[in-house]
Amino acid sequence: MALPSLAVSSPTGQLTGRGLDGCYRDGRRILSRCEVRAAGGEPLVVQGRLTGADRARFTGVIRRAGERGPDPEIRMERLRSADGTEQITFHSSAARPVRLPVEIHLGTDLADLGAVAVGLPGPELRAAVHGSGLRWSGRGAHATVTATPAPQDALASAGLLRWELELPPGGRRTIELHPRLEYGPGGQPAPAGRVGRIPVPGPRTAPTGPRARSERPPRSWSAARLECDDPRADALMAGSLDDLHGLLMRDPALPTDVFVAGGFPWRCGLAPAEALWTARMLLPLGTRLAAATLRTLARTQQATPGADFGRIPGPLRDSGPHAPPGCTGIEATLLFPAVLAEARRWGLPDHETERLLPAAERCLQWLRTATDPRGTDRGGYLPDPAPESPYRCETQAHAHRAALLGADLLDACGSPGAPALRDWAADLRTRFRTDFWVEDRTGGRPAALLTADGRPVPHLGATAAHLLDTGLLGGGTFAPGLLDAARTDQLARLLRAPVMDSGWGLRGLGAKESGYNPFGHRSGAVRVHETAVAVAGLAAAGHEAAAATLTRGVLDAAESFGHRLPEMFAGEQRTAGGVPAPHPAACRPAAVAAAGAVQILLAVAGLRPDVPAGTVAVRPLGNPPLGAMQLTGLTLAEQPFAVRISRLGMGMVEEAADGLQLGS
């Protein structure tokens, strides 16, 4: 994947036209079939693997009639890039010249990615010979494939190119394929956003996947590297950052600004909340991605006076069996000021902070306007997605963090409004600890939500982990949370219990709750993002053993996925010798899964920067779950930063910006 281009195949490398197989550009399938045959049969592919997020290598052998012994004399190497370009090389180990007939069957339907993803592709189009290849036309677009060297025969009716390759002893021959997409009159890129999005309430809807420029965006974070006693962690860090680079896109409104798309296949475009979560989790690698993502979303912010003024649009998202869908736009609106405030702590330059401050102020204004003004005993809670909707636990956590970090930001920039936000947050804490806490024989639990009439719904799920994510303030301290110390300890006990911890990560819904389904993407499946939020929050709250257990579980799960985690996987209980089961509808790669893996690995180091104050605190886990580790290539105050953690949990800064002092 190198958005807006991507290629999908099985490990054989053959594009069969079945399922999602194909090469895509701008959300259109420019090739659905690309099947190689040599010496009258298909190559026997012995290995297919990614060599990077944007390229794959397939190795096979060719068996010919009359060969003696078990050893093949012809091998094939097939290199494919995300844009569909291929180099197919045949190597001969024969002692005599070999004439090798090669056929490549090509076809396409020019279908939209969204239609293909839900099983509704179009009919295969008829090809025409075009130069040194083939061409297909349909619905305002044309796909072409050119070949080098030119084929000796081209059959348009069968979509077939043929060669007779002469391989000298020990020699090789290469065929190159170059697929291209062209737009005719009235043609345009297909939307590449999530299939079947639900419109956002209000006068505007979220963009469904902006078109990116053809040039690949540069990597917007530092080349971080992890070396530790457990080499699997090193591979997970490298694979996750590679996946994120494959998802990087340009904002068509201002192509110098980039963001990370949500994931393949459902969100190959701007997903506001996920883009902000990704930028936030990658702050230790620099603030450039956060600044560009914030600028991109500021341009989508509601500018029309009214109840939605200041809100960032976003689609609705399923919330499982016990709640109606929630609005990702509300989550993004609350994340915006928090990400800006934390980016400033990591070293976002003052001029960038000042440039983005007005948009953050509008988000905070929307927050104060949207909290329930009806004077009921739920006054001050934030409904999601509409005024008569439930009050979700995680939404109140996002709102509380936005208020406190937003107040911190306003004070730092000399803007008014900070005391009122802190007073609102303090009042929310007082009421939340009564209204949202459900007492029971095990010590109590936070309610998943309050209904519009104030009734608590006590189901326990992974979204409760957001109560632990309070946000970073100055001096290496975190903002106060909605829960007091005793209730925080109780939540930590609940999250580390087997009903929540599958052994591979946190279940979306506890295994003993009604409606639990290990394959339910909001009702039991393990979501890497929420597990990452829990790991970081538990570590910050001092529950190091629980954080370490979840870290090891995710690392074990990542090994079974080739160190490239999907968005989610089944929440079935871990057993000896077992592996986590993939979820059939998961995005892979997925931005918040890849960034979540990075956050989990970095949480072990316990970095707490305050660049405006010129300090950084390093508070690693006392018993590091990965053993000794060294993190290099991080970025703090726009300068390289490196830290080493010993097996005893002692941290030592090895490289930092001049003038940056180690905090207590």
Q: 556, 542 in Cβ contact below 8 A?
A: no
Q: What is the pLDDT of residue 187?
A: 64
Q: Which residues contact 138 (CB under 8 A, 6 or more apart)?
A: 109, 110, 122, 125
111 vs 138: CA distance, rounded Å: 9
37 vs 17: CA distance, rounded Å: 16
**Helix residue ranges, H only, 413-527:** 418-435, 485-496
pLDDT digits (tens, 9 = 90+) for 534-552: 999 999 999 999 999 999 9
How much helix, strand and coil, in percent to the nearest 5, is found in the chain? 30, 25, 45
Q: 475, 610 in Cβ contact below 8 A?
A: yes
Q: Which residue stretches of the chain have pLDDT < 50?
A: 190-214, 374-377
Q: Which residues contact 442 (CB under 8 A, 6 or more apart)?
A: none
- The token pair at 113 is 């990615």
Residue with tokens 């201002």: 254
Q: What is the pLDDT of residue 189?
A: 62
Q: What is the pLDDT of residue 205?
A: 31
- The token pair at 445 is 């639990």
Q: What is the pLDDT of residue 184?
A: 77
Q: What is the pLDDT of residue 186?
A: 62
Of the candidates 347, 311, 342, the one whose C-alpha atom is nearest the C-alpha of residue 329 is 311
Q: What is the pLDDT of residue 67?
A: 76
Q: What is the pLDDT of residue 191?
A: 46
Q: 568, 526 in Cβ contact below 8 A?
A: yes
Q: 35, 16 in Cβ contact below 8 A?
A: yes
Q: 191, 114 in Cβ contact below 8 A?
A: yes
pLDDT digits (tens, 9 = 90+) for 177-218: 999 999 877 666 644 433 333 233 333 233 333 333 346 788
Query: Which CA distances in Å does 378 have to 194, 420, 451, 518?
Result: 34, 19, 10, 33
Burial state string for 384-420 with b = 16 or more CB within 10 A and e = fewer than 16: bbeeebbbbbbbbbbbbbbbbbbbbbbbbbebeebee
Pairing of strands 661-662, 615-618: parallel
pTM for the predicted model, two decimal places: 0.91
